[in-house]
Amino acid sequence: MSHEVVVVGGGIGGLTVAALLAARGTDVCVLERQSQVGGCVTNFETFEYQFEPTMGLYTCWGSGEAHQRIFSELPVEAPEARAVDQPVTRLSDGSEVAFASSNYVFEERLRQSFPECSEAAIEFYRQLSKIAEPLLQALRRVPDLPTASQRQRMYAFAPRVDRVRQLRRLKKRILDEELKNTSQRFREFIELQLRVFTAARLDDSAYLPSCALLHSVQQGLFAIRGGAANLAERLAESIQQSGGKVRLNSSVLRLSYDPSGKATGVDLLSGENLIATKAIVSNMTVWDTYGKLIGLQRTPPEIKKVLGGLSSPGAYLIHAGIDEDAANSLRSNHFLIANDSAQATEELIDPSRIGVAIAPEWDPRAPEGKRAATIMFSADVSQWFTFHSDVEEQEAKDQAALETGWAALHKRMPELGNAIEVIDTANPLTCYETTRRKLGMVGGIGLSPGLLEGQQLNHRTTLPNVFMVGDTVFPGAGIGAVSLGAFAVANEIAPR
């Protein structure tokens, strides 16, 4: 069997690149090991609930932004995405900071919330929007900016082409340095956003992508009806309508090579070999693309070194049902909570940062009178993947993590009281089973400046006809960054 392009993995990255290629007339086939598409965004369905395994907040859905550009090429409608109220941040001293898309209102709130450093905090956000706004505008003009040529970059920023140089200069800056004149509380406010949305640390986050993320959170994000899983399903439908194939339950083992060392296609677990005459796109993580697909023997030592130094945390999720009346009485459907007095129990999860995501009132994803909610913690994967661990031990770990997380949630959101009940949980072990991400590391790879600067890890691999898409090569603001990256790779394989 042969196709022009074979895509390994049906997450948002793989599906987006395949949908664009199929719509442009390329013969494309997606191979997904699970029985459904979506990867990290696959909903967990139980007892009439549909739980999103994410914060449920998405970037790049505004007018002229990436998703509109992508769906303008596809034969199917985009899922409904609505702008939603910004999250509320609850700091460890109990104070709350609400965002506002109007700069004037937001600056007033910063003044009230951070009297100890209000001018520095306002200046920080002013500088940040001076960088983020032209960057996001340029991305509207040239969505494949991350891989664009120098000429296209100039066009993206025209007539202010000097901005290309300015941005290049900013590439090495660390976010932490820009916060020097601000208070500990303000730093906590910024760190909370980074931790919940990208699992990144303040002292290891590049300034440039952090600006884009923080600006997007302030300006407002979007929720998708049915969750991002609905986006995955639309993309799969689009691939099929354009004549492409989506094969489920199809695990890929490795690339196949001809005697000269050129990648010719993929070997499936079933023993089948599928030939790719033009390109192979991996939606697996960078670790698995090199470690499994390309093979460690063919991975150059400098790449092995970079990969060895990369890691990301896992996630521990509590899926809960919340009474509709209680949800309606909250200030927002999304909370970012700092809980500095919390001690991690055996470090299974970190209860000092909590993300709370409640399904919107217009899409409750729950039985009558309830709404689905997902409570998120970061988890140290090494504590979950230990040798000789049996099912009983794993259940005991899950129970301990649940108790820690549930207590932390109630301590910091006492207003929830009895209006919320646990329905199920997901931990790094169960995440590994559903996504096959290395040791359950599901949070992308942060915003580390070394990583973004390095030339070794990008959408190209060491093989000229093998490309990568996904959040470990296009890190940043979740599926927004993944979709932009997939657009860039599609343009490289089959320019419009």
Ligand X SMILES: Cc1cc2nc3c(=O)[nH]c(=O)nc-3n(C[C@H](O)[C@H](O)[C@H](O)COP(=O)(O)OP(=O)(O)OC[C@H]3O[C@@H](n4cnc5c(N)ncnc54)[C@H](O)[C@@H]3O)c2cc1C
Residues binding ligand X (CB under 6 A):
8-14, 31-34, 39-41, 54-58, 251-252, 283-284, 315, 376, 435-437, 442-444, 470-471, 478-480, 482
Considering the complex, state which of residue 18 and residue 117 has its C-beta at the smaller distance from ligand X.
Answer: 18
Q: How far is the CB of 392 from ligand X (least distance, A)?
A: 26
Q: How far is the CB of 135 from ligand X (least distance, A)?
A: 18
Q: How far is the CB of 30 from ligand X (least distance, A)?
A: 9
| Residue type, position 105, single letter | V
**Which tokens belong to 70?**
């992508």
Q: For ligand X, which residue has the nearest CB? A: 11
Q: How far is the CB of 40 from ligand X (least distance, A)?
A: 3
Considering the complex, state which of residue 190 and residue 468 has its C-beta at the smaller distance from ligand X.
Answer: 468
Q: How far apart are the C-alpha atoms of 455 and 450, rounded to whole Å?
A: 10
Q: How far is the CB of 407 from ligand X (least distance, A)?
A: 20
Q: How far apart are the C-alpha atoms of 186 and 432, rounded to whole Å?
A: 35
| Residue type, position 69, single letter | R
Give the CB-side neighbour count of residue 437, counting CA atoms within 13 A.
27
Considering the complex, state which of residue 13 and residue 364 has its C-beta at the smaller distance from ligand X.
Answer: 13
Q: How far is the CB of 78 from ligand X (least distance, A)?
A: 15
Question: N- to C-terminal Cα distance for the chain?
Answer: 27
Q: How far is the CB of 209 from ligand X (least distance, A)?
A: 14
Considering the complex, state which of residue 449 and residue 478 has its C-beta at the smaller distance from ligand X.
Answer: 478
Considering the complex, state which of residue 153 and residue 397 has its C-beta at the smaller distance from ligand X.
Answer: 397
Q: How far is the CB of 32 from ligand X (least distance, A)?
A: 5
Centroid of chain to Cα 350: 19
Considering the complex, state which of residue 4 and residue 471 has its C-beta at the smaller distance from ligand X.
Answer: 471
Considering the complex, state which of residue 125 and residue 432 has its C-beta at the smaller distance from ligand X.
Answer: 432
**Which tokens belong to 160?**
């202010």
Considering the complex, state which of residue 90 and residue 353 has its C-beta at the smaller distance from ligand X.
Answer: 353
Cβ atoms of 74 and 236 closer than 8 Å: no
